[in-house]
Amino acid sequence: MTLLAWGLAWLLDLLIGDPQGWPHPVRWIGSLIGVVQRAVRRCCRSDRALRLGGGALWLVVVGLTWAVAWGVLALARSLHPWLGWAVEVWMIFTVLAGRCLADAAREVERPLRQGDLAASREKLSWIVGRDTSQLRPEQINRAVVETVAENSVDGVIAPLFYLAIGGAPLAMAYKAVNTLDSMVGYKHEKYRAIGMVSARLDDAANFIPARLGWLLLSAAAFLCRNDGAAALRIGWRDRYRHSSPNCAWAEAPVAGALGIRLGGPNDYFGERVEKPWIGDARRDIAVDDISQTIRLMWVASTLALALFMAARWLAAGAL
């Protein structure tokens, strides 16, 4: 029944994603982060105090998320096994973000294909942290491909990994870790101190999933008849060409698979950030690369689900 719950939750994410207006735990986690962050800022003034307060913020949000998820699941199972199973499916469904990621990328892609740069830049600003107001079409394409590649790990592979080793409560806790990083894990002045713990622990949480992402995206490249050999080779060669210890593990195999170059300079919060290039520019990036990257993400996520389900089944048989 557990493996069936995983498969059904993944299928629900594929089919319906995150319907607008539906209750979603990530929104609740975001609200909790906002409340606790404001309390920390009221109590902590110096950078050292903010770093300590940021650690407390992480413990409260992640710990409370795991505890509530575990408690709700235990309560549902005590009332009726089928209710517990349904709650488990819902929890897993909510931590997966493949469809949401694909839809967000398509929202940028559609006006870009129609030549509406203003709308494409606006939609892109909803999913990236860089300044999008002056981006050219090739820069928009690059930003979307990078976002889909990187979030293949954060949005699908990593939640499935933590689901496999600790069930739905641990997958929910990972989602809290990831949400903390997306809300406070920035390096600019406002968040540098309070978000330090969240940023570093998000890096730690994604260490293994990111490296699995390199292998899974490379395997997906072979299956999709892209350049799988280049995905493996460039994924390994360029794995550290990013300020994050994890991001290039996903971006580099996608760049290799498609024969394009990612990374490079970008503007964040009014500051120019020079990033190394990832991949080899065997051709210019194009709008079709967005669809290609979405396809790679879905195939890699399917492989991840199969891998973790097989691992769970084999582990259960060994006990």
Looking at the 3D structure of the chain, how many domains does it have?
1
Averaged pLDDT, 170-188: 93
Paired tokens of 317:
């048989």
Residue 318 lies in a domain: no
Return mean pLDDT, the chain.
93
pLDDT beyond 90 at 275: no
Model confidence at 268, pLDDT cuts 50, 70, 90, reads low
Query: pLDDT tens-digit profile of 11-44?
Result: 999 999 888 777 789 999 999 999 999 999 999 8
Averaged pLDDT, 77-106: 96
Q: What is the pLDDT of residue 20?
A: 78
Averaged pLDDT, 176-191: 89
pLDDT beyond 60 at 91: yes
Model confidence at 271, pLDDT cuts 50, 70, 90, reads low
CA distance 161 to 167: 9
First to last CA, the chain: 17
Q: What is the pLDDT of residue 277?
A: 95
Find out whether 38 and 124 touch, Cβ atoms under 8 Å.
Answer: no
Model confidence at 265, pLDDT cuts 50, 70, 90, reads confident
pLDDT beyond 80 at 94: yes
Find out whether 141 and 112 touch, Cβ atoms under 8 Å.
Answer: yes
Provide the percentage of residues in the chain whose pLDDT is more than 90: 81
Provide the whole-model pTM. 0.94
**Backbone dihedral angles phi then psi of residue 165, each to the nearest 5 degrees:** -95, -15
Q: How far lies 160's CA from each of 126, 223, 262, 309, in Å?
A: 25, 21, 26, 9
Residue 96 lies in a domain: yes
Paired tokens of 172:
């929910």
Instruction: Please state whether beta strands 271-273 and 277-278 pair in parallel, antiparallel, or not at all (unpaired).
Output: unpaired
**Backbone dihedral angles phi then psi of residue 34, each to the nearest 5 degrees:** -60, -45
Residue 303 lies in a domain: yes
Paired tokens of 312:
């769970």
Residue 267 lies in a domain: yes
CA distance 10 to 195: 31
At position 9, the amino acid (one-letter code) is A
Q: What is the pLDDT of residue 266?
A: 75
**Interacting residues of 249 by C-beta distance below 8 A, sequence separation 6+:** 153, 210, 211, 213, 214, 235, 239
Query: pLDDT tens-digit profile of 197-240?
Result: 999 999 999 999 999 999 999 999 999 999 999 999 999 999 99
Q: Which of 100-114, 118-132, 166-180, 262-276 has the lowest mean pLDDT?
A: 262-276
Which residue segment(s) compose the domain that 248 sits in? 2-313
Q: What is the pLDDT of residue 319?
A: 53
More confident residue, 273 or 138: 138
Residue carrying the six token digits 């203003």: 118
Collapse the DSSP code of 114 into the 3-class scheme (helix H, G, I; strand E, B; otherwise coil) and give the result: coil
- By the 10 Å C-beta count (0-12 exposed, 13-18 middle, 19+ buried), 200 is classed as middle
Residue 144 lies in a domain: yes
